[in-house]
Amino acid sequence: MTPVPAAPRSLVELLNTLDPDHPQKPPGLPSIEGEDGLTIQQMLDRVGPRSFGAVLLVPALILVSPLSIIPLMPTLGGLIILTIATQAFFGRRHLWLPKFLAARHLSTEQLKKVVNNLRKPATWLDNFSRNRLTFLTAPPLDRFALLAVMCVAATWPFLEIVPMFTSISAGGVALVAFSMMVRDGIVLIAGYSVLAGTLIFVLRLVTGIF
């Protein structure tokens, strides 16, 4: 039987699983040496399916990085996050992505850019986080976090042309996902604050148009 990869226990550890220069391939997964980069499915396979928080972090971190300026990247990232968060919200144990999302690919150069841009903040956040107010990240209250993530991610396809909007709101999603991974309610509250600001911005934008 193929071993199931254990979920990363820190943000730096998650980045290491995606870093072409520091690969931590979980046991049982086929080698990808010689390939240029990873598909979304390969990234999620490396992270492992046991923690939806860790899985949500992967696309969120990509969108926090400078790669968010690539046309359609926010739309694709939003669809991936929306798909993952919806399955987590309804208690699905085995993650599934449609092929057109799972097959999306980041080159080795793009992966290095993501990892290198996030190393310092990831180290700081790992040092800052600890088990606090864990009840906020546990069922049933974790459903509020997933619902907030779903609402924000659903706006990205429509607002990706707004400068910095995706990166800032993806930062909020990343904080929420990280808090669920490490069970830190303080980080979750910080993520809620960013997402709330994002939704207020969207609401004011929509009411201003109509």
In this predicted model, which residue has the larger pLDDT, 142 or 92? 142
pLDDT digits (tens, 9 = 90+) for 31-71: 455 468 899 999 988 887 667 889 999 999 999 998 888 99
State the pLDDT at residue 36.
81
Domain ranges in the chain are 11-209
State the pLDDT at residue 209.
73
Min mean pLDDT across 30-34, 133-137, 143-147 is at 30-34
Q: Does residue 140 have a cis bond before it (omega within 30 degrees)?
A: yes
pLDDT digits (tens, 9 = 90+) for 98-130: 999 999 999 999 999 999 999 999 999 999 999
State the pLDDT at residue 57.
94
pLDDT digits (tens, 9 = 90+) for 171-198: 999 999 999 999 999 999 999 999 999 9
Under 8 Å between Cβ of 47 and 58: yes
